[in-house]
Amino acid sequence: MQHPIGHTSDNIPVYVDLVNSPAGKHIALQPRLVSLVREAVSKVSVRSQEVSIDYDMGRPIGYSFIVKTEEKDSILYAQFLHDTIYTRFVKNGSPSATRYLSIKLRRDKDGHYELYDTWVGRIHPPQPGSTQETVKSRTYWADHAYIFGMDDRPLQLSTLTKVCPYTK
């Protein structure tokens, strides 16, 4: 289901697929993301086929639940329900207030932009093992993790492990 979000500063329509996109999953958990994305995209001009935007909203908008980890931290890996990739978690950590909104847009065949993904916090590489994995993914996620228990999405408890599932 396509839901209109708004327009870029150069009047290109932006929409989100609320059912089949990662953005739709995040919006279901945080509906105010729609108004934040609307505000941010209205101030940017986009030309690329795909773009990742690390937008400073100029005010605190929420908390980032991804933190830098250290050797002494207790790390776990698990899959979210209905997911096939493992996510790295740290048992203890504190969310940090952030002014940043991350936005990923993809141009469609009509020249409009689909909001592929969005979240509160800074842009980060895709997780290792995902189809979007980049050369930066493993390096970044080797010392960053989601704070365990801070995400509302349920985990597949049978996948919980302390062994890194994506080491070379």
The answer to whether residue 138 sits within a structural domain is: yes
The answer to whether residue 167 sits within a structural domain is: no
pLDDT of residue 27: 93
Residue tagged 């690390």 (tokens): 54
Q: How far is CA 105 from the centre of its chain?
A: 12
The answer to whether residue 156 sits within a structural domain is: yes
Number of domains in the chain: 1
Note down the domain range covering 8: 2-161
Residue tagged 């870029």 (tokens): 8
pLDDT of residue 166: 82
Mean pLDDT by runs of 10 across the 168 residues of the chain is 93 95 91 97 94 96 94 94 92 93 96 96 93 92 92 87 84
pLDDT of residue 168: 54
The answer to whether residue 168 sits within a structural domain is: no
pLDDT of residue 132: 86
Residues 6+ apart with CB under 8 A from 163: 77
Distance between CA atoms of residues 116 and 91, nearest Å? 29
Distance between CA atoms of residues 162 and 6, nearest Å? 43
The answer to whether residue 166 sits within a structural domain is: no
The answer to whether residue 157 sits within a structural domain is: yes
